[in-house]
Structure 1
């Protein structure tokens, strides 16, 4: 039966031409007697209709409904009305309201459909926003706008960014649109959180709602939040522009109870309370911005969205929150995860610690744990090294902590790429410049401690057992013993202050010439410490094999080593260098790789 009804609709659609639709629209606009043309025109607002048919029907319906919207009852009233003897006019308006709701839903389906053309989608979105502007008795119709955002977020179709770009370019510059966008996104985020909690607590998993649809909704939520411009990005010297004149930021009526929109808007521009009004607007916007983002960050975000959020959080979110300290739980959890997630959360966590008074007792322990060889090949290593240098800049750091970072970095210099060795030399150089108390790491020879250090160590361990003290003295007297424990995660227990930077001496003969040259300048700087400034880590933090190669290619070489041979060499290696091997092959003889 359903297929028969669908085929009948298709047959009816096939009977109408474009000129017929124009005639139906003109009749609908001319007289109430042709109101039955409305369902016919409404049936063409669909992806199954040709775009020019849908556009022609849309223009007629928009012209018909726009002047009637202030007179139509609300959707809730039309659904709950139980009047036993309603008058014909009330029935007619209730019916019109239901058709208007059908039109709005058809327009939203057409806007989010991947089959819609870009031109048609733009016109459809303009029509929806016009209904949002005047559909609530002249006020902003937040219900229609929320329905649009709800359909975008919960759509299972992978819509491209064209619809979001249209919203952002045409409507997100209006402050009331941004306000209601934050309100709707907060509701949608809380709805997704409730669904996720219900799914996680239920014993039976609903296969009809796969987890990928939830992740897709979170992607779209993040795209919407990211497309909304910040309030401070607007021109502060101009008035806040609103999509609906009778908005939430303007007084709605005068003392007589009459709405005098134009007069009120003119007076508000000339009043002396304009600065105070802008402050109130900024306060409201910041509050809604905070609620929307906090609700979104409470969701179990997919890993790719999680990383995108962490990358931009310190620039695009934290400066505009009403209370940035509310992000402390989210960022500390992210920082405790480890790996690249901890690296990406470090920027925001550093902002909270330095500008908003966040106390994190284990911050340096976690930062020390991030120093792994993999960090020198991570995507966001440049920002990490700059933050690492900033975090170690304070002269109040204890000597054991500075020594632990210095020793850990020097040990990593043995196994990282040349670009990593360059940034390590810069970091260790700055640490030694800022903390003279760890200069003993450079001047200590053979892994031995000085007599003063040994006596101080004995005083600090006076309560230890005699056998452990004897073993420690024995190990101290052995040349070549490194007391640094590279496997220890606690900087206090690494014994870095009793070690030396012997790893740095290997950089003197590094296979990469830029590293060895940079190490020689490092030695020269330590010799004249008072006249040496700190090295800008950002100049080396984003280095790679490509940057080193390009710098070497641009480098002017004064002397070029040349090789002279009395006779032309017949092979690359001489047989004396590899006893038992031969490199001379007869013509046509295959190479035996097993020899």
Structure 2
């Protein structure tokens, strides 16, 4: 990075085009203590303000990647320091300049001071110094922007702290929040491929601390996403590229990184607050103003929150990002939107997507149906279709079954529908892993207890002419419509099959159906939903007594391979004691 540094007119300027001969105490030999000394001299003596230029030069780190050992030697030969030493000096210099400018601002040294004479032709020295300080502060701000993408987390955090300090100072100069500068901060942060966890934590800390910062983050990030969407639509329609489109194209080029960084920030922002909770601002406006600022309105906060999230959901997301958004949907997004029904298209498309995405869309979709009067007549048909051979193997199995239990909790559901779900669950359980079967059995038991009309599935009697003969199951497993699958005409022979399961935990659970269901309490499904192979193994080894042989146990008679007929192994001399 090449910066243009300007020296005060009353101090001799150095020709920066000619490399001066290095002397003792020169830049190559400077250390952190010397950096602090340079900063102190700036504040103690106006004649030493040129030290700001020296500190800015020390801030320039030209290598933002770790160097291989062979290049490190060349780096030391050129700069007189190792790369790590250079970065340490740059960090110390950057922090020192921030302290210098904070003190100078507090003193008022950056304010313009004019004499009573013609201000256009004659300025006093202090005015020229203030102008010079402001110009070099602009260089410092540009350095801070470059540091936001530095590989070292400490550099990133220091840069953000400095920029937020500048935003605050400039806001008080303008007498309003300096969003033009803050928007640049947001642009660089969300497009940062190298964002560290420390920087992410600092960004969210600022957003969660100051209500105006949170408001403008939603507003600015929403604009970035809107520009990216407009640009993508322009490309899709094959329109001629304009200069305006070229200016905003970075958002499309870096869209995956923008979405990832943006979501990481959005998901960490605390929920929108009530108006009575607003009141902590980076820039405190004049309380005597008659008009209340927009950042003090909870309605405005909800509006920019909604616009930001809706712009986010309109983007083309990766499968992983799609899942992350759906996981946050029902708690972090829907409750705080101005119009939650605007999510209908997104959630319905997600529900129709299939696989894990459909499972994760369930919660948000059900919230819209139950709380926001969404009419979706095919909901249970789509839900039924999700039960396939892969369902009980997916990562989100327990989450899905919790939701299905909620969806089937109403006693007003038709018996044919409940019977279809019971039959489908047990059919897929035949090829499911043991942790899933352990959940399905009590789930089915609760459904039968909740809907007595389905008990005929257990006590189905054969026709007299069918006794002792093979009978075809009338249930149509491949029928997508639960109303047409003939589940109520079938029986739960799958339970009898599971009684022979190799794992005693499962075969024992199935035997509960041999008892009168009406007299037994329902199961607490939470006791079974989070089972895994590890928990099943743990429960087996903790048993004090083993009622039967372990699962997959074998009994083999061991015979000596050298033992001849009629002789014992001990007869051989090699076994004599």
- CA displacement, residues 508-538 of structure 1 (integer Å, 9 cap, x when unaligned): 22221111111111331xx241x33332222
Flag the 1:251–1:322 CA change in 2: closer, same or farther, 3 A.
farther
- Select between 357-366 and 536-545 the one with higher mean Cα deviation: 536-545
Other-structure match for 1:140: 177
Asked if 1:543 corresponds to 2:531, the answer is yes
Secondary structure of the structure 1 residue equivalent to 2:376? coil
Q: Provide the rounded CA distance (Å) in 2 between the counterparts of 1:130 and 1:444.
A: 76
Q: Distance in 1 between matches of 2:122 and 2:265?
A: 44
Match of 1:153 among 177, 190, 193: 190
In the alignment, what sits opposite 2:575? none
Task: Decide which moves more: 87-96 or 177-186.
Answer: 87-96
Q: CA deviation at 1:108?
A: 1.8
- State the Cα deviation string for residues 225-268 of structure 1 (Å, max 9, x = none): 12212234x9x99773222222xxx745369xxxxxxxxxxxx9
Does the residue aligned with 1:231 lie in a helix, a strand or coil?
Answer: coil
- Corresponding position of 2:447: 431
> By how many angstroms is 1:540 displaced?
1.5
- Note the C-alpha offset of 1:69: 9.4
Structure 1 counterpart of 2:267: 226
Tell me which residue corresponds to 2:66.
none
Query: 2:458: which partner in 1?
Result: 442
1:242 counterpart (257, 275, 281): 281
Evaluate the alpha carbon distance shift between residue 67 and residue 353 of structure 1 in structure 2; reply closer, same or farther with a 3 A threshold. Answer: farther
Residue 540 of structure 2 corresponds to 552
The 8 Å contact of residues 418 and 515 in structure 1, kept in 2 or not, is answered as yes
Aligned with 1:215 (options 256, 270, 276): 256
Output the TM-score relative to the length of structure 1. Answer: 0.72
397 and 561 in structure 1: CA distance in 2 versus 1, 3 angstrom threshold: closer
**Local SS of the residue matching 2:144:** helix
- Shift of residue 43 of structure 1? 3.7
Aligned pairs (5 A) from 1:367-382: 367-382=383-398
- CA-based RMSD of the aligned residues comes to 4.1
Deviates more, 1:437-446 or 1:214-223: 437-446
The residue number in structure 2 matching 1:124 is 159
In structure 1, C-alpha distance between the alignment counterparts of 2:353 and 2:544, rounded to whole Å: 46
Aligned 8 A contact 1:153 1:221 in 2? yes
Residue of structure 2 equivalent to 1:182 = 218
Residue 511 of structure 1 pairs with residue 508 of structure 2? no
Tell me which of 399, 412, 425 is aligned to 2:415.
399
Deviations 1:442-493 (A, max 9, x none): 22234x5x9xxxxxxxxxxxxxxxxxxxxxxx99x99602121111112122
1:351 aligns with 2:386: no
Structure 2 equivalent of residue 520 of structure 1: 511
TM-score (norm 2): 0.75
Asked if residue 162 in structure 1 is aligned to residue 153 in structure 2, the reply is: no
Output one character per residue of 1:535-560: Cα deviation in whole Å (capped at 9) or x when no partner. Answer: 22222222222222212222342756
Of the three residues 305, 323, 332, the one matched with 2:348 is: 332
Which of residues 82, 96, 103 in structure 2 aligns to 1:56?
96
Q: Equivalent of 2:406, from 390, 400, 413?
A: 390
The separation in 1 between residues aligned to 2:539 and 2:158, in whole angstroms, is 53
Give unpaired runs (5+ residues) of structure 1: 73-84, 256-267, 269-276, 451-473, 563-567, 573-595
Q: Contact 2:442 / 2:525 at 8 angstroms: preserved in 1?
A: yes
Q: Unaligned regions of 5+ residues in structure 2, if any?
A: 6-14, 63-85, 113-118, 551-555, 561-577
Deviation at 1:99, TM superposition (A): 4.3
Partner of 1:421: 437
Against the structure 1 CA distance between its residues 176 and 280, is the aligned structure 2 distance closer, same or farther, given a 3 Å change threshold?
closer
Query: 1:386 offset after TM fit, Å?
Result: 0.8
Q: Deviations over 1:303-359 (max 9, x none)?
A: 222211111221222222222222221111111100011111112222222222222
The alpha carbon displacement at 1:94 in A equals 7.3
Query: 2: CA distance between counterparts of 1:401 and 1:305?
Result: 34
Q: CA deviation at 1:285?
A: 1.9
